[in-house]
Amino acid sequence: MKGRIITIGDEILIGQVVDTNSAWLGAEFSQLGIDNAGIWTIRDTRAAIHEALNQVESDVDLVVMTGGLGPTKDDLTKKALAEWFESDWKTDEGVMNRVKEHFVERGVPVPEASLEQAQVPSVCTVLANTRGSAPGMWFEKNGTIFISMPGVPYEMKGIFTDVAKSLIRDRLKDQNIAHRTIMTQGVGESTLMQMLIEWEHEVAEAGLKLAYLPSAGSVRLRVSGMENGNQELHSKISSMVDRALPILGDFVYGFDEEQLEQVIGRLLKEQGLTLSTAESCTGGYISHMITSISGSSEYFKGSVTAYANETKVNILGVDSSALDEHGAVSKQVAIQMAEGVRQALNTDFAVSTTGVAGPSGGSADKPVGTVWIGIAGSNGSYAQKFRMGKLRESNIRKSAMQALQILRKEIISTSKLSAQDSLYLK
Amino acid sequence: MKGRIITIGDEILIGQVVDTNSAWLGAEFSQLGIDNAGIWTIRDTRAAIHEALNQVESDVDLVVMTGGLGPTKDDLTKKALAEWFESDWKTDEGVMNRVKEHFVERGVPVPEASLEQAQVPSVCTVLANTRGSAPGMWFEKNGTIFISMPGVPYEMKGIFTDVAKSLIRDRLKDQNIAHRTIMTQGVGESTLMQMLIEWEHEVAEAGLKLAYLPSAGSVRLRVSGMENGNQELHSKISSMVDRALPILGDFVYGFDEEQLEQVIGRLLKEQGLTLSTAESCTGGYISHMITSISGSSEYFKGSVTAYANETKVNILGVDSSALDEHGAVSKQVAIQMAEGVRQALNTDFAVSTTGVAGPSGGSADKPVGTVWIGIAGSNGSYAQKFRMGKLRESNIRKSAMQALQILRKEIISTSKLSAQDSLYLK
């Protein structure tokens, strides 16, 4: 099956909103084995919507549209769809009831505009939206399926997962697409490519594809293949991935979009161990990454963002003399921060960061991007120095990723797990 | 001038990467007054690139492409461009030197693949990339400009800002497009729409456009207009925006994409005041938001993520009896957390959060989404209760935004600034 994603909304075209829906839908397409022929972002006008529908109509089997269904005046999608499908209107009782419930729950009178959500083109099948007022809609024309959903990501994902996905699956032919992604941290794309020259040849010879997918602080290696109804594909990809692991060594932290903070979580949970963090240059971002995982309260006791030197001394017990002698961005201070928070919060492990995030604050001795990462655990404590880039946002992200990677290795080295086993621990 | 953005890369189509480049470029288009006719994401294949170029060639004046120029094998864009423009190849010495410098700086040997970056189609003008090895390229054909840049956001933004933008500006005719965006927090889209019914009519009568742009924890109201060489436009939009402010009151925290954490920063800096935060359910996210602003060390002393009750007691001095009697998610604990961190870190203001982020941990009494936000300052301390949604990620974001909004009001109420003046403080 061939599909396209159409995102409707001027706010995306003028850059006031980043379109995350299309990436999410792209991943769903990929999982369903739907070949994504492209993503279009178009204007919220009747003409643009009709033009796009005319173009894709004969080109693909499935068109998924998001956006342009909210209660406000800039949303014309539903009308444009009714016109294009030459449809009358009907009132959907299910939508009407959900809209009323939605506002009653919140103790708010139902706005008139929200009641209009229950008006839908009569040729469509309504896809229930249990998380909001704008319904999803399913149309068919000359064998092509058209799905329209609201642009609010939480609502769109709900409609797709709860209703649309199984309807699409019913239409899918027997086909098989598979990926496996190796998650790495601490090594750049060009260097990886040199490490993997020979392995890349093997991948190509096996009829598989390899993609390097870099993002701040991490490069993912995706091996993929497509076959019709052949169960061998998964094992072929898996054994190819296994052959890359000895080459990549410690840079690998997981597979298939598992995040470093999830890996840390399962390693700690498995062993009943606890963690705290002390952050200067990362400013709470490591703590945020860890607590973004549901259930992190089982192993994460807390964090101290010690931005001022005073906070480093008073809360973390860093020596004033160490700050005077070596400066805040130093091995000594990184170690004392980690040891200090480990003791204060009474945890098994602690990780710390102190560095120059930039763009200001650098010196010849400690240029912007200099970061010390400290670790304290049952095996003692140490710190490592890194040189990140010049951009504040990416420095924070890269430093946090590097800190979690060092922490991951430390947790494994003090455990009975082998590095290899730790990757497959669930 | 009419433009299009083309993003090249399978990783976006299968959802492994979110395309943030297009939003950034869309905002740049908007600022330059370029009418964005659409954003396309296409495959990294010769056929897809040629097909897209054929389609846009006669349709727009400017095509900006990103992606597909890295050193790895899945990048075919440069070859596809050379073919489409029927061009030979040349070696660009500038690129060659930068590639060599780039690796020498890092003390790493230059990978062969990176040297190939210096090979470019001879019909193009190279747009220097000072932040990486893949060069930007400028082509022209039948009056249409085609710009190709690497997909790494940091590099792409550098090329566009440093080189491409002024070249485009030279080509622009005399035209005038203007926006002003009102940033609000604490009120939903439907409610805003009801508050603004009459004002919306005025906006339309003045020939201006209004868009509601919701995102987690915030709704932006964008008023825009377009005129040719008419200087009146800006003042027309400004006076329309001013008329909305009394209706919106305290919900407004700023204008034109200014973020709440920036507003907090300038309010504190202006008055020489300091801040600390104590976070439970937001897990360090407020601290991260505040420290994402360069120069925040001037007013932000630090934060304690107190995830475990033990941390609340030992580091923040919360009473065990308050925890036993009222639970961690309570008014008493929120207040004690704020007071505790304010005292421990010796700051003028402190803000705290304690709540049930979900998806687990809720009860009939305190369902998922229940959040207490505490404030401590020179005027004493208090806490407010909120009911956020059911989604962890959005709860964290919404709670953090709400906490910063309450903090903003508290800072203003203890200052000599009027609420109105505080919005225009720079």
Residue ranges per domain, chain B? Answer: 2-171, 177-255, 260-424
Which one-letter amino acid corresponds to residue B328?
A
What is the Cα–Cα distance from B380 to B131, expressed in whole angstroms?
A: 49
> Which chain B positions have a beta carbon within 8 Å of A257's beta carbon?
16
Q: How far is CA A385 from the centre of its chain?
A: 28
Tokens representing B361 are 């941990």
> Which chain A positions have a beta carbon within 8 Å of B276's beta carbon?
311
Tokens representing B356 are 């049930």
Return mean pLDDT, chain A: 90
pLDDT per residue, tens digit, chain B (426 aa), is 899 999 998 888 988 888 899 999 998 998 888 889 999 999 988 889 998 998 888 788 999 999 988 766 556 899 999 999 999 999 999 888 887 877 777 777 887 777 888 899 999 999 998 887 889 999 999 889 999 999 989 899 999 999 999 899 888 765 567 788 999 999 988 889 999 999 999 999 998 988 887 776 789 898 988 775 556 888 899 999 999 999 999 999 999 878 999 999 999 999 999 999 999 999 999 999 999 999 999 999 999 999 999 999 999 999 999 999 999 999 999 999 999 999 999 999 999 999 999 888 889 889 999 999 999 999 999 999 999 888 898 899 999 999 999 999 999 999 888 777 777 766
Q: Is the peptide bond before B359 cis (omega within 30 degrees of 0)?
A: yes
Tell me the β-bridge partners of A4: A63
A43 with B41: Cβ contact below 8 A: no
B191 CB-contact burial (10 Å; exposed 0-12 / middle 13-18 / buried 19+)? middle
How many of the other CB atoms lie within 10 Å of CB of A54? Answer: 10
Q: Report the pLDDT value the prediction gives residue B390, as an integer from 0 to 100.
A: 80
Exposure on the CB side of residue B351, measured as CA atoms within 13 A: 28
A354: which residues sit within 8 A by CB, 6+ positions away? A280, A281, A328, A329, A330, A333, A334, A337, A371, A372, A374
Please tell me which residue of chain A has the smallest CA distance to B393.
A292
pTM of the model: 0.77
- b (16+ CB within 10 A) / e for A254-267: bbeeebbbbbbbbb
Per-residue pLDDT, averaged over A255-266, amounts to 92
Spell out where A246-329 has E strands: 252-255, 275-279, 300-306
> Which residue in the set A211, A286, A301 is minimally distant from B74, CB to CB?
A211
The answer to whether the beta carbons of residues A164 and A147 sit under 8 Å apart is yes
Please report the sign of the dihedral spanned by the C-alpha atoms of residue B110, residue B114, residue B116, residue B120.
Answer: negative
Q: Report the pLDDT value the prediction gives residue B74, as an integer from 0 to 100.
A: 59
A43 with B38: Cβ contact below 8 A: yes
Spell out where A185-317 has E strands: 209-215, 218-227, 252-255, 275-279, 300-306
> Which residue in the set A39, A113, A393 is minimally distant from B190, CB to CB?
A113
How many of the other CB atoms lie within 10 Å of CB of A122? Answer: 13
Closest Cα in chain B, distance from residue A216 (Å): 9
What topology is assigned to B177-255 in CATH?
Alpha-Beta Plaits (3.30.70)
Q: Report the pLDDT value the prediction gives residue B231, as an integer from 0 to 100.
A: 60
A41 with B39: Cβ contact below 8 A: yes
What is the Cα–Cα distance from B164 to B173, expressed in whole angstroms?
A: 16
Q: Report the pLDDT value the prediction gives residue A170, as an integer from 0 to 100.
A: 84
Please tell me which residue of chain A has the smallest CA distance to B278.
A304
Q: Report the pLDDT value the prediction gives residue A74, as an integer from 0 to 100.
A: 58
What is the Cα–Cα distance from B232 to B208, expressed in whole angstroms?
A: 13
Q: Which has the closest alpha carbon to B124: B82, B77, B62, B166?
A: B82
Question: H-helix or E-strand containing B5?
Answer: strand B2-8
Q: Report the pLDDT value the prediction gives residue B426, as an integer from 0 to 100.
A: 60
Q: CATH number of A2-171: 1.10.3470.10, 3.40.980.10, 3.30.499.10, 3.30.420.10?
A: 3.40.980.10
What is the Cα–Cα distance from A243 to A17, expressed in whole angstroms?
A: 41
Q: Report the pLDDT value the prediction gives residue B175, as an integer from 0 to 100.
A: 59
Interface test with A, best of B12, B54, B56, B307 (most A CBs within 10 A): B307
> Which chain B positions have a beta carbon within 8 Å of A288's beta carbon?
283-285, 287-288, 396
Please tell me which residue of chain A has the smallest CA distance to B400.
A288
How many of the other CB atoms lie within 10 Å of CB of B166? Answer: 9
B23 with A17: Cβ contact below 8 A: yes
Question: H-helix or E-strand containing A184?
Answer: strand A176-184
> Which residue in the set B18, B152, B346 is minimally distant from A20, CB to CB?
B18
> Which chain B positions have a beta carbon within 8 Å of A317's beta carbon?
none
Give B264's DSSP letter: H
User: Confidence band (pLDDT; 50, 70, 90) for A215?
Assistant: confident
A191 with B108: Cβ contact below 8 A: yes
**DSSP of A252-263:** EEEETT--HHHH
A108 with B292: Cβ contact below 8 A: no
> Which chain A positions have a beta carbon within 8 Å of B220's beta carbon?
16
**Model confidence pLDDT, tens digit, residues A391-400:** 898 899 999 9
Q: Report the pLDDT value the prediction gives residue B217, as an integer from 0 to 100.
A: 79
**Model confidence pLDDT, tens digit, residues A396-414:** 999 999 999 999 999 999 9
Please tell me which residue of chain B has the smallest CA distance to A109.
B191
Please tell me which residue of chain B has the smallest CA distance to A299.
B308
What is the Cα–Cα distance from B171 to B32, expressed in whole angstroms?
A: 11
A213 with B286: Cβ contact below 8 A: no
> Which chain A positions have a beta carbon within 8 Å of B154's beta carbon?
389, 391, 394
> Which residue in the set B27, B277, B391 is minimally distant from A15, CB to CB?
B27
**Model confidence pLDDT, tens digit, residues A106-154:** 677 887 777 888 899 999 999 998 887 889 999 999 889 999 999 989 8
The answer to whether the beta carbons of residues A225 and A368 sit under 8 Å apart is no
> Which residue in the set A179, A215, A345 is minimally distant from B311, CB to CB?
A345
> Which chain B positions have a beta carbon within 8 Å of A355's beta carbon?
none
User: Confidence band (pLDDT; 50, 70, 90) for A173?
Assistant: low
What is the Cα–Cα distance from A256 to B244, expressed in whole angstroms?
A: 48
> Which residue in the set B108, B213, B315 is minimally distant from A315, CB to CB?
B315
Q: Report the pLDDT value the prediction gives residue A73, as an integer from 0 to 100.
A: 57
What topology is assigned to A176-255 in CATH?
Alpha-Beta Plaits (3.30.70)
> Which chain B positions have a beta carbon within 8 Å of A187's beta carbon?
none
B339: which residues sit within 8 A by CB, 6+ positions away? B350, B374, B376, B381
Please tell me which residue of chain A has the smallest CA distance to B5.
A13
**Model confidence pLDDT, tens digit, residues A50-87:** 989 988 887 889 999 999 887 665 568 999 999 999 99
Q: Interface pTM (ipTM) of the complex?
A: 0.75
What is the SS3 assignment for B332?
helix
**Model confidence pLDDT, tens digit, residues A9-51:** 888 898 888 889 999 999 899 888 888 999 999 998 888 999 8
A212 with B344: Cβ contact below 8 A: no
Question: Is the pLDDT higher at B12 or at A371?
Answer: A371
> Which chain B positions have a beta carbon within 8 Å of A179's beta carbon?
14
> Which chain A positions have a beta carbon within 8 Å of B181's beta carbon?
16
Reported CATH class of domain B260-424: alpha beta
> How many beta-carbon contacts under 8 Å exist across A and B?
313
What dihedral angle (degrees, nearest 10) is formed by the CA atoms of A258, A260, A262, A264? 140
Question: H-helix or E-strand containing A5?
Answer: strand A2-8
What is the Cα–Cα distance from B200 to B99, expressed in whole angstroms?
A: 54
The answer to whether the beta carbons of residues A182 and A252 sit under 8 Å apart is yes
Q: How far is CA B311 from the centre of its chain?
A: 32
A292 with B283: Cβ contact below 8 A: yes
> Which chain A positions have a beta carbon within 8 Å of B152's beta carbon?
214
Closest Cα in chain B, distance from residue A358 (Å): 7
Q: Report the pLDDT value the prediction gives residue B72, as an integer from 0 to 100.
A: 65
Question: Is the pLDDT higher at A417 or at B355?
Answer: B355
